[in-house]
Structure 1
Amino acid sequence: MSWIPGLTRCVAVLRRPRRTLPIKAPAPAPSMADQEEDYSSLPLTERFTHKIWKVRKGAYEDAAKQFEVTPDEHDPAFRPFLNEPSLWKGAVADSNVAAQQEGIAALCAFLKFGGREGCTRTRGSTIGPIVEKGLASTRAATKASSLEAILLYIELDTPAPIIDDLLPALSNKQPKIIAATLAALTATYHSYGCKTVDPKPVLKLLPKVFGHADKNVRAEATNLAVEFYRWLREAMKPMFWNDLKPTQQTEMEAQFEKIKSEPAPKQERYLRSQQAAMARAPPPGAGGAEEEEEAEGDGVEIDAFDLAEPQDVLSKVASDFHEQLASAKWKERKEALEALYATLNVPRIKDGDFAEITRALAKCMKDANIAVVTQAAQCIEVLAKGIRKSFGKYRSIVTSPIMERLKEKKASVSDALGAALDQVFIATSLSEVLEDTIEFLKHKNPQVKEGTMKFLIRCLKNTRNAPSKTEVTSIAEAAKKLLSESVEVLRSGGAEVLGTVMKIMGERAMGPHLEGLDDIRKTKIKEYFDTAEVKAKDKPKAAPAPTPRAAAPAAAPKKVVAKKPAPKKATTAPSPQPQEQGSLAPQPTARSIPGSKLGLPKPSSLAAPGAGLKAPMKRTLPGPGGAPPTASPRRPPSQTPPEEDGPAPPRLALGRGLAGRSLAKAAPAPAPAAAASSISPPPNSGLTALERAELEELRLDKERLIRQADDLRQERSRLNSEVQELKNQNAQLIEDHTRDVLSIKAKETQLVRARSDCEAAEAMCGQLRREMERLKRALTREERANTTSLASPGRESATDSAGIYRDTGIYGAPQDNARTAYPSRTRLSFNSALSEEKENSGDALAAQYGRTKTSQDIGRTGRTSAASGSGRGSPAPPNYSSAMENSSKQDGNGAANVQPVESWKRAAEVTNALKAKIEQMKARQGINRN
């Protein structure tokens, strides 16, 4: 019985006396406060990798708060995470979903306030975990923070690296990751646009995701394609459209129809580089709005050429192409061109030698069959569209043949030729096609003129570069010739050309070209000017750029008076007045104030350990981009004290932070690239918050002064240009004034001469008037004498004819002794009249009168040759002798002598002529006075 010994032992144990054991109290558990205090005392980087998720979560929250209160991206708070980027990899991929949410939020704060350096150092280790565990998270806040982190990575640098990191996720085995990545790409293109983020890498992969088995993936792919269509329109289809199933194409077309009527999309978020450019751009009132609209318009106009990859088509052209093109049958020529069109009709053609093909197509423009001509024009169109700028070297081969063929009246042919010309223009420029266009506007065929004119109008509307002044002149001259055409279409086209050019160049620039046109044509041109839509605007040449900031250090150093810092709070000591170095008195500093945060002990590299304030080392600040240290902006380089070999004397007046301590001797000017950088260097990690604020204030003052200097320099340049312009205007005014004074003096001289001529003419007129009166009186006397001689015809007739000769006494002594009834009175009156005339008139009057018929030769003295001689034996003048002969042949009735009557008539005629001349002189004098 084996169980009896065991039972016996049990009974023995039970009979033993009981012993009381002391009860130990349980040890008190550590309080949560002690645990939090212990964990909070750990460095932030250690808490990021702690094994307790609550500690990590708290570290993420503390880090986000710390990043938000940093003054700039160079704060020391960012340095540990820049040195160890792997900390963020663990934060965004935290195993605890609550901690992961805070970790991704902390990363967003780090990127937002940490700047570009934080982006470039951490994106390689964080994008993959964000895509796999952040975007696909079930928590909405985590997904939102993950998407924001991706958008921040793009904003801080460039989109290409982020897109390259996202694309591998489209091949993931989990459909939810693929769908989340597609959603992130859709949001990216929606925010930044297809101009900022290149769509080509994603477009290539769209057919693959459209063929995925998961419906969520296909739905997200559809959303991404719709977003692409908003930006690219039909240009996106050649990239992937043919790889879709017909049902998918139908569904996509239905989605596209919904957004066709929507306005063009605009970029919602901008890269940091774009934000800086927008900040430097002029305000909207100064032309910035127009430039921004143009930039936005350029962002929308993306065509298939920019998205497609170049294709080699030369190797695909048939080897017998030229033989078929030379066939006598037009159908074979057309088939060869159709095959060539199918080969060339690709979005983008790889550049090669297309000279031979281009010459063959140009030769086809002269083909008798219009179907061949149409197909050749289509081939030229797709070739120019496929190689774009490289087509410029073939332009001269095809332009003239196409324009010459515009004589075809069939619409399909003219449309094909016009489309080919349009693509040639897009591949080249307005300046390159303008010469041929102006030449064909002079063509004798009206149909060619009309087609060329329409092509010129399309070029003017679509060109983005305004024509030069010489080109505008040639266009205007050609268009004005069209205004006088007999065909209404050409006249209207000429007005439209001028109106379109006026829209580009402006009304003021086109004013001289419209001079001489009637009001009807000007009104027609103005109508086209109001309705024209152009893409180019003539802008004045930009003013010369101001001197860059990089050149500022090379100039002579100028004393810059820094702005005094604002008064500090009551906790800081007042700034002492500047004193000489030898008379510095100890002043309370920010570190010595009780209760100040700056009074806490903090390791610093400013002085050796244990030196305290007795021998502080001089602080030097690194220049921009790691350049040599520079002196404080508050002390000009010319006033910086030289550096001594021994220890510097103590400077205890540190109440103003950096303004109260000597920083360093002025270093040589930094490199231009470093000086031009606007990014502030990271401050020394040993600076306190007050000193950092002071340093930042000094930097702001420096930047403000540099900006002021640039503004003043530009203002001075502008004022100098205005002064020079005023000088030129003043010189021009002086020249005009001198010219006017000389003109006035010349007019005054002409007026004096005219007045003297008028006075001389008036005197001559009076003289002639008196002479005429005397002649009248002499004539009256002669008539009386003749009347008396007629009364006694026997003796008086002979006596009269001889008596006149004797009594005048002009031509010499009398020939006989016969006397008239009035010899003395007749001789006296007539002789005195003629002698007075000669003395007053001289040669001038003798020339004007042509000498009197009663004298043979009158000299300069106004006296006859007979009077100057002895007065004897002088022969009678021929005219007078003939008069005497005529008188002797008269009948016995004794006809009167008509010689005095003829002399009086001639004198009257001369007087009338002189009067007419006087009136002409008076009229000229009145014109000169006016």
Structure 2
Amino acid sequence: MAEPEEDFSSLPMPDRFAHKNWKVRKQAYEDAAQQFSRTPDEKDPAFRPFLNDTSLWKGAVCDSNVAAQQDGVAALVAFLQYGGRDNSVRTRGATVPGLCDKGLSSTRAATKASSLEALLLYIELDVAAPVVEDMLPTLSSKQPKVVAACLAALTSIYHSYGCKIVDPKPVLKILPKAFGHADKNVRAEATKLAVEFYRWLREAMKPMFWADLKPTQQAELESQFEAIKSANEAPKQERLLRTQQAAKERTVAAGGDEYGDEGGDDDAVEEPAEVDAFDLAEPQDVVKKIPADFQENLASSKWKDRKEAVEALYAVFNVPRIKDADFGEVNRGLAKCMKDANVAVVTQAAQCIEVLAKGLRRSYGRYRTIVMQPILERLKEKKQAVADALGAALDQVFLATDLTDCLEDITTFLSHKNPQVKEGTMRFLIRSLRTTRTVPGKAEIASIVESAKKLLAESSEGLRSGGAEVLGTVMKIIGERAMISHLEGLDEIRKTKIKEFYETAQVKAKDKPKPAAPPPTARAPGGGPPKKVVGGGLKKGPSPIKKPAPAAAATSRDEPSTPQAARPAAGKLGMPKASGLGMKPPLGSKRTLAGPGTMSPRRPVAPPASPPLEIYEEPAPATPVPQPRVGLGRGGLAARSLAKPSAMAVPTPAAPPSPTPQMTGLMAVERAELEELRLANDRLLRNADESRQERARFMSEVQELKNQNAGLIEDHTRNMLSIKAKETQLVRARSDAEAAEQTNERLRRELDRLKRALSKAEAALINGGGSTALPERISSPGFASPTHDDAGIYRDGGYPPSASRNRISYASTMSEEKENGEPAIAYPRSKLSPDLRYVRAGSGSNGRGSPARGFRRDLASGTEDVPGSPASAANHHFGAGGTSTTSGPTGGTVTGQESWKRAAEVTNQLKARIEQMKAKQGIRRG
């Protein structure tokens, strides 16, 4: 009977993940996946052990047992699905390399699928760049199956998320290496990845790696690219990030569709921006690669040298992206080449301008004034190859600028005397109108239309057809309705031809008409303030009608109130209503027929006789309704007020009613123009106010900066003076320190000399052997002052004569006072002690000048030697306990003990005298 297996379910989950038995690990992976699926949110404690130790997942995805590895990767997928973004960010660094090395190349299909799903989840939860960065080292593996599996995973990633979510540049850089791999499976996966890139990037991907491929590989890829081109299907992101999913849910909850469109028209959906090679490539510094003899060869008289110079320059500039630098001198040289007599030089120079403008993009705009006019002038060349090169250069220069910058040169050369230049400029204008993304302004449209109308009268069929195509393209941009006023005076044949070009023209800039706003009412629903029509929209504003006088006429924004003058009622754009009455009839009144009004379609339309800007300053007419006049009336459009009248204005009884005329295209154009002028005027006024405010702000900032600069200069000057003063003090302190060191050295040498003298004196005193030689040593020339042992002077009286550290002599006391800064006073010997007078009086060497002779006179009294006294200590010091006799002044004899007793008394007296002298000296100094 088999033994029951041990139950390891009681162990902690980290211990089970790291268990040596693969069955325990496999069961732990299964339990962990079930546990993650039952968690209520991503903050559940079940995730915490795996966040504290991310190496658990590294061991799970790289498990040595394939069965356990399958469950380990599945547990990781469950961990990512239910764990959220924070858990994925903290674990991807430990798991992505293992998934690429062991999971994607596993022999089990479930393990491969789970590994790919884990990689996709890492991208879905956060961003793709770190995941791709961790996958790229696997492409350098020595095992071909690992490299092929990693390339297949990258293909799935780009297919699911697209090149907008996952940056293709890191992978495109290493794609040539995959195409050059020795294993055919790796090359096959690289081909699939390149095809996937072509779905998203099209031709923009080729400059990154195409030149590194073999011709056979290029041909194979081209055949697969043709299938993608024929399908003509726009790639779509198949898998959304978590952030995109949340945005989609919010949009659906708000009432829109899955793409965030809340029921707008088809034009509201933006087309995906096409990725080009410029966005993928890295900027290259080409200035250093320009040949040093370029300008010299360009100025050569031999056309071959000039051609070689521009060919070498083309090879340098022919890169996807160029780093911005100063190319002014190069462009001036290329502009001179436009006048070259050799067409090969002209063609190659035009190609250099094309690739330089393509590599710099918007940065090339500052060189437009250098090269555009010479290129337009050279359009007189009849050879088609030269004309094509010049046209391509002009197109790239236009892409670096806009229509507003180029329009002045275009209109100038449209009236050139050479038909070839005129036709080439016309073709360039048509291409510019098709590619521009900015709708031209009113003045620009008028200038283009005027030049195109002149082309319609040319003798050449190509110029006449080109003029019609220009007008048709402009109509496509601004709309058919807005173009009606510009086509007046043209015959029907030309209008028909313009309409044909309008229907076939393809443009990128379209002037979308503003939505029509309802006419203004006197009072908003609900009793709120009336609404003003400004630029086609509704704005709430204060009511121009006063309650006490409801019949009073409303005043305009810019004119003072006139109680008696009734203003005509305004339409949607601030113009008088199409009724021609200029006012609103009272309720209950009947309309009666009258003659045609000013704006009636039955009357001829005359051009305006005054500038439209005068409309804002001309006062409103005092009469309610003018009499019918021929044309638009006196002053044209300027005779009509733009003021917004009151909805409750009451007409005078003398106003003849007239039928409401039908709305015509001309009236709509006029109203659109007047509204455009009004908005332009308001915009100019706002810009002027903003400019004044900005100028005042700049002036205040300049003044503030000046004040700060002055303060900084003052602080700098003060700091420099302070530094100089500190330097002067430092120099003085250094000199004082050097002087003090010299003084200290001199005093140290003096102290050493005194110490040596003292030691010699003590040694001589100790080795003398008797008290008889003491007076002679004291009075000898080599002994300048009494020592501690000779005179029995002790500094503190508690130490024997052998303790020399507490002894002090007269000379040492004077030296210390000198070192301490006290004045060196020569103490008179006669003032120290009465017994020391003999020292100054005696001059011989017989001992009469010794201090000992002064007190030997008193030794005859036979004083007893006191045991323990200093004299007794000195006696023990000089002898071994015997007595020594000496002769006193009376001729008697005394013992040695009595003499040293007397010496101790004299010593005490000397010490008392010294203390008194010090006290007196202190009082004097104080």
State the 1:189 CA deviation.
1.7
Q: Could you tell me which residue of structure 1 aligns to residue 910 of structure 2?
A: none
Contact 2:426 2:466 in 1 (8 A): yes
Give the equivalent residue in structure 1 for 2:94.
125
Amino acid of the structure 1 residue aligned with 2:312: A
Whether 1:473 and 2:446 are equivalent positions in the alignment is: yes
Q: State the secondary structure of the residue aligned to 1:363.
A: helix
Per-residue deviation, 1:268: 2.1
Q: CA deviation at 1:432?
A: 2.5
CA distance in 1, matches of 2:60, 2:363: 52
- The separation in 2 between residues aligned to 1:110 and 1:929, in whole angstroms, is 80
Q: Which of 372, 379, 390 is the matching residue for 2:352?
A: 379
In 2, Cα distance between the equivalents of 1:496 and 1:161? 52
Q: Secondary structure at the match of 1:269?
A: coil
Q: 1:294 aligns with which of 264, 267, 271?
A: 271
State yes or no: 1:53 paired with 2:22: yes
- Give the conservation status (yes or no) of the 8 Å contact 2:410–2:429: yes
Amino acid at match of 2:241: L
Preserved CA contact (<8 Å) 2:568 2:583: no
Counterpart for residue 210 of structure 1: 179
Once residues 404 and 273 of structure 1 are traced to their aligned partners in structure 2, the CA distance between those partners, rounded to angstroms, is 55
Which of 143, 161, 173 is the matching residue for 1:192? 161
Residues 621-666 of structure 1, C-alpha deviations (whole Å, 9 max, x = no match): xxxxxxxxxxxxxxxxxxxxxxxxxxxxxxxxxxxxxxxxxxxxxx
The Cα of 1:228 is off from its aligned counterpart by 2.3
**What does 1:488-507 correspond to in 2, within 5 Å?**
488-507=461-480
User: Which residue number in structure 1 is paired with residue 64 of structure 2?
Assistant: 95
The superposition leaves residues 427-461 of structure 1 with CA deviations (integer Å, 9 ceiling, x where unpaired) of 22333322322332232333222211211221222
Q: Report the alpha carbon displacement of residue 277 of structure 1 after superposing the two structures with TM.
A: 5.0
> What's the counterpart of residue 457 of structure 2?
484
Distance 1:518 1:155, change over 3 A: farther
1:177 aligned to which of 119, 130, 146: 146
* One-letter amino acid of the structure 1 residue matched with residue 102 of structure 2: K
Q: Match of 2:108? A: 139
* Aligned residue runs from structure 1 range 363-378, under 5 A: 363-378=336-351
- Who is 1:867 aligned against? none
**2:35 and 2:487 mapped to 1: Cα distance?**
70
Q: 2:118 aligns with which of 141, 149, 154?
A: 149
Match of 1:361 in 2: 334
Q: Give matches, 1:307-326, under 5 Å.
A: 307-326=280-299
Residues 793-828 of structure 1 show CA distances to partners (whole Å, capped at 9, x for unaligned) of xxxxxxxxxxxxxxxxxxxxxxxxxxxxxxxxxxxx
Instruction: Name the structure 2 match of 1:787.
Output: none
Q: Could you list the runs of 5+ residues in structure 1 that have no partner in the other structure?
A: 1-25, 543-714, 752-926
Structure 1 residues 48 and 364, CA, compared in 2 at 3 Å: closer, same or farther?
same
- Mapped pair 1:266 → 2:256: no
- The corresponding residue for 1:560 is none
Distance 1:358 1:394 in 2: 7
Query: What is the aligned-residue identity percentage?
Result: 67
Q: Per-residue CA shift, 1:497-527, capped at 9, x if unaligned?
A: 2322333333344444344444433332332
- In the alignment, the residues of structure 2 paired with residue 469 and residue 114 of structure 1 have an alpha-carbon distance, to the nearest angstrom, of 58
Matched, 1:722 2:722: no
Question: Residues 162 and 928 of structure 1: is their aligned pair in 2 closer, same or farther, counting only changes over 3 Å?
Answer: closer
Whether 1:396 and 2:369 are equivalent positions in the alignment is: yes
| TM superposition shift of 1:378 | 1.2
Question: Is the alpha carbon distance of 1:85 and 1:517 closer, same or farther for their aligned partners in structure 2, counting shifts above 3 Å?
Answer: farther
The one-letter code matched in structure 1 to 2:86 is E
Q: 1:58 to 1:928 in 2, by over 3 A?
A: closer
Aligned counterpart in structure 1 of residue 130 of structure 2, from 161, 164, 184: 161
Task: Summarize deviations over 1:572-620 as a string: whole Å, max 9, x none.
Answer: xxxxxxxxxxxxxxxxxxxxxxxxxxxxxxxxxxxxxxxxxxxxxxxxx
Q: Determine the C-alpha separation between the residues in 1 that align with 2:34 and 2:265.
A: 38
Change (3 A) 1:72 1:726: farther
Matched, 1:523 2:496: yes
The alignment partner of 1:407 has SS state of coil
- How far apart in 2 are the matches of 1:724 and 1:142? 65
Task: Name which structure has the greater RCO, CA cutoff 8 Å, separation 6+.
Answer: 1
- 1:241 match: 210
1: CA distance, partners of 2:265 / 2:52: 41
Please tell me whether residue 434 in structure 1 is matched to residue 407 in structure 2.
Answer: yes
Choose which of 535, 538, 553 in structure 1 pairs with 2:511. 538
Deviation per CA, 1:667-723, whole angstroms, max 9, x where unpaired?
A: xxxxxxxxxxxxxxxxxxxxxxxxxxxxxxxxxxxxxxxxxxxxxxxx9999x9636
Alignment of 1:398-437 (within 5 A): 398-437=371-410
How far apart in 2 are the matches of 1:415 and 1:216?
44
Normalised by the size of structure 2, how large is the TM-score? 0.53
Residue 418 (structure 2) aligned to one of 427, 442, 445: 445
Paired residues, number = 544
Distance verdict in 2 for CA 1:928–1:461, change over 3 Å:
closer
Question: In the alignment, what sits opposite 2:83?
Answer: 114
TM-score, normalising length: structure 1? 0.53
Deviation at 1:138, TM superposition (A): 0.5
Matches within 5 A, 1:828-867: none
* Structure-1 separation of matches of 2:150 and 2:295: 52
The one-letter amino acid paired with 1:379 is C
**Residue 305 (structure 1) aligned to one of 254, 278, 286:** 278
Counterparts of 2:426 and 2:172 in 1: how far apart (Å)? 41
What is the CA-CA distance between 1:140 and the residue it aligns to? Answer: 0.5
The CA distance in 1 between the partners of 2:40 and 2:265, in whole Å, is 31
What letter is aligned with 2:237?
A: Q
When structure 1 is superposed on structure 2, of 735-744 and 170-179 the one drifting more is: 735-744
Please state how far the C-alpha of 1:425 moved relative to its aligned partner.
1.5
- In structure 2, C-alpha distance between the alignment counterparts of 1:311 and 1:329, rounded to whole Å: 32
Q: Which structure has more helix as a fraction of its residues?
A: 1
Question: For the structure 1 residues 318 and 722, does the alpha-carbon distance in structure 2 shift closer, same or farther, using more than 3 Å as the test?
Answer: closer
Distance in 1, Cα, partners of 2:116 & 2:410: 55
Q: 1:435 to 1:181 in 2, by over 3 A?
A: same
Between 513-522 and 321-330, report the one with greater CA deviation: 513-522
**Would the aligned equivalents of 2:104 and 2:146 in 1 still touch at CA under 8 Å?**
yes
Shift of 1:534: 2.2
1:131 is displaced (CA, Å) by 0.7
Q: Cα distance, 1:359 vs. partner?
A: 0.5
Which is worse superposed, 171-180 or 259-268?
259-268
Q: Decide whether the 8 Å contact of 2:580 with 2:658 is kept in 1.
A: no
Give the Cα–Cα distance (whole angstroms) in 2 for the partners of residues 55 and 419 of structure 1.
Answer: 71
Q: Secondary structure at the match of 1:414?
A: helix
| Alignment gaps of 5+ in structure 2 | 516-530, 546-552, 555-566, 571-575, 586-591, 596-655, 660-926
**Shift of residue 337 of structure 1?**
1.7
Distance 1:61 1:419, change over 3 A: same
CA offset digits 1:517-542 (Å, max 9, x no partner) = 44433332332222222233335799
1:798-809 equivalent positions in 2, closer than 5 A:
none
Which of the numbers 171, 185, 191 marks the counterpart of 1:222?
191
- 1:70 Cα deviation (Å)? 4.6
Indicate the larger mover: 62-71 or 85-94.
62-71
Q: CA deviation at 1:287?
A: 4.2
CA distance in structure 2 between the partners assigned to 1:214 and 1:743 by the alignment: 87
User: Residue in 1 aligned with 2:778?
Assistant: none
Q: Which letter maps to 1:538?
A: D
Shift in CA distance, 44/430, structure 1 to aligned 2, threshold 3 Å: farther
Alignment of 1:753-902 (within 5 A): none
Distance in 2 between the 1:261 and 1:400 partners? 41
Give the Cα separation in 2 of the matches to 1:253 and 1:434: 40
